[in-house]
Amino acid sequence: MVSIANNLQAVRARIDKAASASGRNADDIYLLAVSKTWPGEYVRAAATAGQRAFGENYVQEGVEKVVELRDLALDWHFIGPLQSNKTRIVAEHFDWVHSLDRLKIGERLSSQRPPELGPLNVCIQVNVSGEASKSGCSPADLPALARALTQLPRLRLRGLMAIPAPTDDPAAQRAPLAELARLQSRLNADGFGLDTLSMGMSHDLEAAVFEGSTMLRIGTAIFGDRKTS
């Protein structure tokens, strides 16, 4: 587990290098450590190494870690598929949801967000070209969904998220990331004021920084290869 601290350091070095190569300030790029499938003690080790924000894909597993690690002041981001029967427990335990792609889920999260917590930060997951997952709002439906979500009192729409299909070809990596950035710029030109572009994983971190990511979701490069079931 000593390697988690080393891995974090290596990831931060990759971010610094990619930022300076892109003429960006590394301080504008937030690192989310994706801890899905890893036990709470791995999260604790990353927290000891200075990592504050963690991403989880599975509701039950994520909530167990949120509860187990309450003594650490961590930020928890839900980044996986979300069914309507799980919205309440997510609204009660997480600080962010990145995978919002339907108004119905947004309405439930807003009405179920406990009053003693601040508004839930949300990103709209967009199905950009080459999207690996079937979920995500289509670019055509995005403006209407964004507008509707801004009307919900207990949500704060922060930006867009995508999960492009994995590829090692840098040009192919950049195309969907550039498309997501363009969709966000267009919304901001219409006055949305979105500040978060959630894109970039272990294999396409550099491409994502180049295309303007403000929040990287990094799992493997920090915690190691996940066992596949």
Which positions touch ligand PLP (CB under 6 A)? 34, 36, 57, 79, 163, 201-203, 217-221
CA gap 81, 104 in Å, rounded = 14
Are β-strands 53-56 and 120-125 bridged in parallel, bridged antiparallel, or unpaired?
unpaired
Query: Least separation, in Å, of the C-beta of 170 and ligand PLP?
Result: 16
**CB closer to ligand PLP, 66 vs 218:** 218
Query: Least separation, in Å, of the C-beta of 67 and ligand PLP?
Result: 21
Measured at CB, which residue is nearest to ligand PLP? Answer: 219
Query: Least separation, in Å, of the C-beta of 173 and ligand PLP?
Result: 12
Contact 107, 62 (CB under 8 A): no
Q: Which residues, other chains included, contact 131 with Cβ-Cβ below 8 Å and sequence gap of 6+?
A: 162, 163, 164, 165, 176
Query: Least separation, in Å, of the C-beta of 153 and ligand PLP?
Result: 27
**CB closer to ligand PLP, 153 vs 228:** 228
Contact 64, 76 (CB under 8 A): no
> DSSP characters for 95-148?
SEEEEE--HHHHHHHHHHS-TTS-PEEEEEEB--TTBSSS-SB-TTTHHHHHHH
Query: Least separation, in Å, of the C-beta of 138 and ligand PLP?
Result: 18
**CB closer to ligand PLP, 129 vs 220:** 220
CA gap 86, 91 in Å, rounded = 9
**CB closer to ligand PLP, 106 vs 136:** 136
**CB closer to ligand PLP, 86 vs 154:** 86
**CB closer to ligand PLP, 83 vs 153:** 83
**CB closer to ligand PLP, 10 vs 148:** 10
Query: Least separation, in Å, of the C-beta of 133 and ligand PLP?
Result: 8
Closest CA to 184 of 209, 155, 161: 161
CA gap 143, 124 in Å, rounded = 10
Closest CA to 205 of 34, 56, 44: 34
Consecutive H or E run containing 15: helix 2-21
Query: Least separation, in Å, of the C-beta of 190 and ligand PLP?
Result: 26
